[in-house]
Amino acid sequence: MLCGRPRVLTLGQAVKVTVMYAKNNITQEVIGELLGVSQPTISRVIAAIEPVIGSVLADWIPDPGQATDGRVALVDGTLVPCWSWADAPDLRSGKHKTTGHNHQVVTDLTGRLLHVSDPLPGKTHDARAITDTGLVRAIDADNSIGDKGYLGTGLLTPFRKPPGGALLDWQKEFNRTINALRAPVERAIANLKTWRILHTDYRRPLNTYPTAFASVRALHFFKLAFE
């Protein structure tokens, strides 16, 4: 029988565990099995290291106003899914038919990621989210492009089909052009969600999400700086 003090992880192992969890979103039990420690140990390590990562790498996160200065900004919202917490009905998105957090994403016309907002409840409409996050004031709305979810915000958006009517030919062509221009921001979101913790259900306690997200955002911008 083995006896003595339980095994602990080195700092390097703790960082690797936290990044592994964020990148793959595998269960803490599996990570514990791989390293020969318990699931509670993995949980404590992740909770301790995430805020450190977010703090240490915070300077790599661009300021949205400075990052978009002089550039055309592409804006889009994305939902990061999570478990259906019964005590948090505001997380349910009617658009996506699931629960999660709304994030506002900004790129330039080449798809270079410039900003990812802090989380808002999943029910938040994009037009409300861009205001509540302060993003609409940080960027030049007149030089920014969004989808129909941003109608009325000042961003350049496609025309909406009038009730009982139809778009004119030039309006249809305009919409096709706008949609083509927006493709890079959609690719940037897909790239961001290669961090599986942002793509598959977030399973940890709801109050841990902001810190977990902040660490992943910082890691992603840090990684982009070397690509």
pLDDT of residue 227: 87
pLDDT of residue 2: 45
pLDDT of residue 9: 92
Contact partners, residue 176, CB within 8 Å, separation at least 6: none
Element containing residue 170 per DSSP (H, E): helix 169-181
pLDDT of residue 148: 95
Contact 188, 111 (CB under 8 A): yes
* Residue with the two structure tokens 């309006």: 171
Average pLDDT per block of 10 residues along the chain, 227 residues long: 62 96 95 93 96 97 96 97 89 92 98 98 97 96 96 95 93 96 97 97 94 98 95
Strand partners, 101: 80, 121
pTM to 2 decimal places: 0.92
φ and ψ of 193, to 5 deg: -85, 10
φ and ψ of 204, to 5 deg: -75, 170
